[in-house]
Amino acid sequence: MDNQKHPDGIIGSLCAIGCETLYGLSYIFTKQATVCASEFALLGWRFFIAVIIMSLCILFGFIKIDLKGKSKKPLLLVAFCNPCIYFLAETIGISNTTASESGIFLACIPVASLIFSTILLKKRPSKIQMIGIWITLLGVIVTVFAVGASSSLSVPGYTFLFGAVVSYALYSVFVDKAFEYTGAEITYVMLIVGAFLFVLLAVVEAMLHGNLDELLLLPIKERDFLSAILYQSMGCSVVAFFLSNIAISKIGVNRTSSFIGISTVVSILAGALLLKESLTIYQIAGAVIIIGGVYVANARRQRGQI
């Protein structure tokens, strides 16, 4: 890949691959954790632990954060779109639709990111990038239908999934605009805002069901839940957010979005190898198409194009 010869291209691409790999592996932990806890309980604990971990890293000097004298508006816009709106919309949308429908909707994120970056950032994607992103989208759709296509015809579900796609695309655009902040600073604010929202929602949900004590004791009583929140807090919320923010700053919104399909490939392989789930020839074909699309989208970087 010609574009990979540039240091920023190499760093950005590796960060994007690492981010999507972590997200793909989280499928295993999420599947096990939601058996014994609600989505809000998982999100609340995930972001709460993530904030503690990153705060300790800052306290001991492993990570440098300096928000003084900088406008907070760009950071709040980022955090509002992701994790707040994105995770809420995704969670509600998935719970009201089928796995195939949610998979197809979320597979549209690269396309939405391309559209929003073109309109809001005035960054024109190359034809190669557009072709690669559409190939990736095709691969995800093939993979989703290989699992089994069904229809819920849920208007609320579709609405929330559409909101998730739009919010993630806007998050990518706002990260690109928050150029005066480091990846660590953006990540830390995202975690703080996410923790505030999701801990509040988890506590309210627990109080409404009269099981606040169960929420507080979940990590102690349920080993699967503990392993899930530890992985998602450190791997997905801290490391993956950090890698995603670096990738966007290094290679731009469009190229970073083209890697999103990698998480689908990783989740399929993880499910087959670790959970002994079935792996069909159609899923393999979908994975190959996804990887091909990612390669095409990053095969060439033309002057003046991101």
**pTM for the model:** 0.81
Residue 301 has pLDDT above 60, yes or no: no
For 243, the token pair is 């890698």
Q: pLDDT band at 260, cuts 50/70/90?
A: confident
Q: Residue 99's pLDDT is what?
A: 61
3-state secondary structure 250-290: HHHHHHHHCCCHHHHHHHHHHHHHHCCCCCCHHHHHHHHHH
List Cα–Cα distances, 75 to 209, 244, 245, 257, in angstroms.
34, 15, 12, 20
Q: Residue 148's pLDDT is what?
A: 63
Residue-wise pLDDT tens digits, 96-154: 876 666 777 877 888 888 888 888 888 777 788 788 888 888 888 887 777 665 566 78
**Cα dihedral sign for 12, 14, 18, 21?**
positive
Q: pLDDT band at 192, cuts 50/70/90?
A: very high
Q: Residue 174's pLDDT is what?
A: 93
In whole angstroms, give the CA distance from residue 251 to residue 254: 8
- Dihedral angle, C-alpha 196, 198, 199, 200, nearest 10 °: 80
Residue-wise pLDDT tens digits, 227-238: 989 998 999 989
Say which residue, 209 or 95, is predicted with more confidence.
Answer: 209
- Average pLDDT, rounded, for the chain: 85
Cis peptide before 74 (omega within 30 of 0): no
In whole angstroms, give the CA distance from residue 15 to residue 65: 20
Q: Residue 300's pLDDT is what?
A: 57
Q: Residue 235's pLDDT is what?
A: 93
| Average pLDDT over every residue of 72-96 | 90
| Average pLDDT over every residue of 68-84 | 91
Please name the residue that has the structure tokens 């960060």.
15
List Cα–Cα distances, 269 to 28, 182, 231, 275, in angstroms.
11, 33, 18, 9
Please name the residue that has the structure tokens 């995603």.
244
